Amino acid sequence: MQFTVTQISEFLNGTIEGDLNVTVNALSKIEEGVEGSICFLSNPKYENYLYTTKASIVIVSESLILSDKTQATLIRVKDPYNAFTQLLQLYHAHVAQSNEKKGIEQPSFIHPSAKIGNNVYIAAFSYIDENVTIGDNCKIHTQTYIGAQASLANDCTIYSGVKIYHNSQIGNRVTIHSNTVIGSDGFGFAPNKDGSYTKIPQIGNVIIEDDVEIGANSTIDRATMGSTFIRKGAKLDNLIQIAHNVEVGENTVIAAQSGVAGSTKVGSNVILGGQVGVSGHITVAKGSQVGAQAGINSSITAENLKWHGSPAQPLSSWMKSSVILRKLPTLNNQITLLENKIKALEEALKKTIK
């Protein structure tokens, strides 16, 4: 598709600066821009590319002051990152519409008791168990399993290889990426006197609310009793483990390789960086921001604070500790020198006394 700079500017409610007749037909990164493409500048460290890029149009902040000439036509907006996101969404919607699949492919198995909504796509080699409910406009890609009594509301996209266990409940506009498992057994085993373990039946389920997106190869365990909750608007990256009876709050974001242990409550608008580990049976307060590889082993009760380190501590404390940690080799050498000086003084004092 080809768009004029005027069309794009009107769509983004921006201001044009440069050639009013330029057109584009592709999206690009600013450092890889080519003629006929549009890109954006949001991070100041990439500003030097603004003056060398071959892109035809660059979306920039309305407050940006140029330090050199640029060949590209500029569209000035309040938030370049958000504006470019809108363009990506428009492009994605167009591509999705062009490649939209419909109907029920064969071979696939759909139990006679399953209820299938309107305009649903079910790919070949999918298995839909008894009493499953699938809402309108859902897309179920190949080799997906949906267990008995599970339900999907409207406009869900389930990618290849996803396994949704029995009784799981999934809301509207939920996206689940390939090979993720929803509703697998929680990790519950009772120790016996002889050192063996007895499995504790996991009879609860998983409830995923509206507008959630879950990345590939993640696992969300069913509750021992009751439900494991992923609240509306939450975004989970790839390779994430959510244990039994966990509650992930509204609009919380969790980056890849993070894990949350059983019965922990993560508040709304929390950000967990990559490889964050959260212990079980604790709470993480609303608005907490936790840096990558941090370990949370006790409840965070104060809201809207930044945390880092393992065990996690307030960011300011962790930064001070990090400075000291980097100086440890130097401090160790200084201590060794002081010890040698003290030893020399002690020996000299002994000789003086004699």
Active site residues: 244
Measured CA to CA, the distance from residue 167 to residue 210 in angstroms comes to: 17
Cβ proximity of 237 and 219 under 8 Å: no
β-strand partners of 306: 289
Task: Count CB neighbours of 235 within 10 A.
Answer: 18
Taking the C-alpha atoms of residue 7 and residue 309, their distance in angstroms, rounded to an integer, is 48
- ω into residue 201 within 30 of 0, thus cis? no
Calculate Rg over the CA atoms of the chain.
28
Residues in Cβ contact with 97 at an 8 Å cutoff, skipping those fewer than 6 apart: none
Rounded CA separation 70/274 (Å): 37
Strands 189-191 and 197-199: antiparallel
Cβ-count burial of 156 within 10 angstroms (0-12 exposed, 13-18 middle, 19+ buried)? Answer: buried
Inter-residue long-range contacts of 62-69, CB under 8 Å, 24+ positions, other chains counted: 62/14, 62/15
- Concatenated DSSP letters of 175-238: EE-TT-EEEEPP--EEE-TTS-EEEPP---EEEE-TT-EE-TT-EEEPPSSSEEEE-TT-EE-S
How far, CA to CA in Å, does 156 sit from each of 83, 172, 176?
Answer: 25, 6, 8
As a whole number of angstroms, the distance between CA 41 and CA 266 comes to: 34
> How far apart are the C-alpha atoms of 295 and 148, rounded to whole Å?
37
